[in-house]
């Protein structure tokens, strides 16, 4: 059944890639007449090549899990170099340079979600179609929330309730009308919209989807937990992590669930941990990057991840090969390992150290060589928290989460200062610097008149 469904998605992706170009080129009134059924709308959301394969990756490229050699840096274009060195401006190429950019890819999916929601109101459906109708609607809310979340983490400052109504948010486009003027909301409005959309998705989606390429209620719970974590709302983040794990708690056991332990990319795609599948539109710096040496050294010799996550690239360089995409392209969706880590962190932060350590032990028992694993016993709250944060960084490499984690942890006073060395030049990004909100592409600012992020 899953194989048939995947083949269908591939066919739909091919057909709708061509169709969507026409769809986006006609006038707003005409384009809305192209969809007339629930099947049409579902097909629009099944264009996996645009919906699932274009997570931005800009945050990961700005974070500290990797470095690039000087000769690679010098071979990259000015935008990649500016992004890697946290320049004030021109860190994202204009849309015209590569016929697309991460800002545009995210808003493309938001536009599709808005189109689906707009047209659903005009499509009559029978009582027998109610579940299908709700599923399509829930998927649209989920996708709009997901991509606004990714935009916010890259182009807005870290959330802080004390100044969220003063800090700049995103232009909230909630209809498919091209004629709307883009004006930036405040950060509180942006975050409130994302939460509202995810809560609507939870009400509408089935517990589990036919395939992880489609959203589910479990995925919506997981993303809401992820989002509350970014807000440092540890009560709600833990609550929704619990809800997610009640629906999807399976973990890979690296002792028995890796088909070929000597494969270059040993972890299977669409494995049983995957709750929602998406992957990164990979920046060149990530593609050619090498893992931070201190991060690599933090893995124990008896930890299977040291073998399965990394490949010796020579000259004491290590590359990451542990993607749940089973390729060099990083997996950036939602998997149960992340939810366990979020749940553990939130449990410890809210005073339930025993629960948090039990959750970590449940995960690590499936990551370490069976005969070498020794359960962790910690009762000190700070030590327990430091352990969970260390494991979070190790487990979630290239998941497009580290940038958000740095931003939220710096709000907690962790004072994570980022540094790069390129040849004889040194670059720095101090904790809580305004550049943690990347510059919006300059061509977008020019066309829309929106406020640029301050420097």
Which pLDDT does position 290 carry in this prediction? 98
**Each residue's pLDDT tens digit, 152-178:** 999 999 999 999 999 999 999 999 998
User: CA 301, CA 373: separation in Å to the nearest integer?
Assistant: 11
Question: Where in the chain are the domains?
Answer: 2-448
Which pLDDT does position 179 carry in this prediction? 85
Distance of CA 10 to the CA centre of its chain: 22
User: CA 29, CA 26: separation in Å to the nearest integer?
Assistant: 8
At residue 294's C-alpha, the angle toward residues 229 and 413, to 5°, is: 40
Which pLDDT does position 29 carry in this prediction? 38
Sort strands 334-335 and 274-276 into parallel, antiparallel or unpaired: antiparallel
Tell me the CA end-to-end span of the chain in Å, nearest whole number. 52
**Each residue's pLDDT tens digit, 299-354:** 999 999 999 999 999 999 999 999 999 999 999 999 999 999 999 999 999 999 99
Cβ-based burial of 371 (10 A; exposed 0-12, middle 13-18, buried ≥19): exposed
Which pLDDT does position 36 carry in this prediction? 81
Q: Is the dihedral angle over the CA atoms 264, 266, 271, 273 positive or is it negative?
A: negative
Would you state the structure tokens that stand for residue 211, as one six-digit string? Answer: 């395939």
Token look-up 């945050």 returns 59
Would you state the structure tokens that stand for residue 258, as one six-digit string? Answer: 């890796």
CB 394 within 8 A of CB 305: yes
User: CA 409, CA 416: separation in Å to the nearest integer?
Assistant: 8
Task: State pTM to two decimals.
Answer: 0.92
User: CA 153, CA 402: separation in Å to the nearest integer?
Assistant: 10
Residue 127 phi, psi dihedral angles, 5° rounding: -60, -35
Residues of the chain with pLDDT under 70: 1-34
Domain topology for 2-448: 1.25.40
Token look-up 């005073």 returns 351
CA separation, residue 244 to residues 200, 296, 335, 369, 390 (Å): 15, 30, 10, 27, 23
């Amino acid at each position: 059944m899953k194989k048939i469904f995947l083949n269908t998605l591939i066919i739909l992706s091919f057909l709708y890639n061509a169709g969507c170009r026409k769809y986006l080129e006609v006038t707003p009134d005409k384009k809305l007449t192209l969809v007339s059924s629930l099947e049409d709308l579902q097909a629009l959301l099944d264009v996996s090549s645009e919906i699932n394969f274009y997570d931005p990756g800009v945050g990961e490229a700005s974070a500290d899990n990797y470095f690039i050699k000087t000769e690679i840096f010098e071979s990259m274009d000015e935008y990649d170099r500016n992004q890697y060195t946290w320049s004030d401006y021109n860190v994202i190429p204009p849309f015209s340079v590569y016929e697309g950019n991460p800002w545009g890819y995210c808003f493309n999916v938001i536009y599709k979600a808005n189109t689906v929601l707009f047209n659903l109101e005009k499509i009559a459906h029978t009582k027998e179609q109610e579940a299908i109708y709700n599923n399509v609607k829930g998927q649209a809310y989920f996708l709009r929330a997901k991509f606004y979340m990714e935009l916010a983490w890259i182009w807005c400052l870290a959330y802080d309730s004390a100044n969220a109504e003063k800090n700049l948010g995103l232009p909230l486009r909630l209809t498919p009308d091209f004629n709307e003027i883009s004006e930036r909301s405040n950060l509180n409005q942006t975050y409130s919209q994302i939460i509202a959309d995810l809560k609507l998705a939870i009400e509408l989606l089935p517990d589990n989807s036919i395939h992880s390429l489609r959203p589910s209620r479990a995925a919506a719970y997981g993303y809401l937990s992820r989002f509350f974590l970014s807000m440092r709302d540890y009560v709600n983040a833990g609550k929704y992590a619990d809800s997610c794990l009640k629906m999807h708690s399976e973990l890979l056991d690296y002792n028995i669930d890796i088909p070929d332990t000597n494969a270059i990319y040993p972890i299977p795609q669409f494995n049983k941990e995957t709750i929602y599948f998406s992957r990164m539109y990979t920046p060149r710096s990530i593609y050619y990057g090498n893992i931070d040496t201190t991060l690599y050294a933090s893995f124990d010799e008896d930890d299977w991840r040291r073998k399965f996550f990394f490949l010796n690239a020579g000259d004491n360089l290590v590359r990451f090969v542990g993607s749940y995409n089973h390729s060099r392209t990083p997996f950036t969706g939602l998997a149960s390992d992340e939810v366990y880590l979020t749940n553990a962190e939130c449990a410890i932060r809210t005073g339930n150290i025993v629960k948090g350590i039990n959750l970590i032990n449940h995960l690590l028992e499936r990551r370490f060589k069976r005969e070498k694993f020794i359960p962790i016993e910690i009762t000190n709250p700070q030590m327990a928290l430091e352990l969970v944060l260390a494991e979070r960084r190790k487990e979630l490499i290239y998941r497009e989460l580290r940038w958000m984690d740095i931003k939220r942890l710096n709000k907690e006073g962790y004072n994570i200062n980022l540094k790069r060395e390129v040849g004889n030049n040194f670059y720095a990004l101090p904790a809580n610097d305004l550049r943690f909100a990347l510059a919006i592409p300059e061509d977008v600012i020019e066309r829309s008149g929106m406020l640029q992020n301050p420097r």
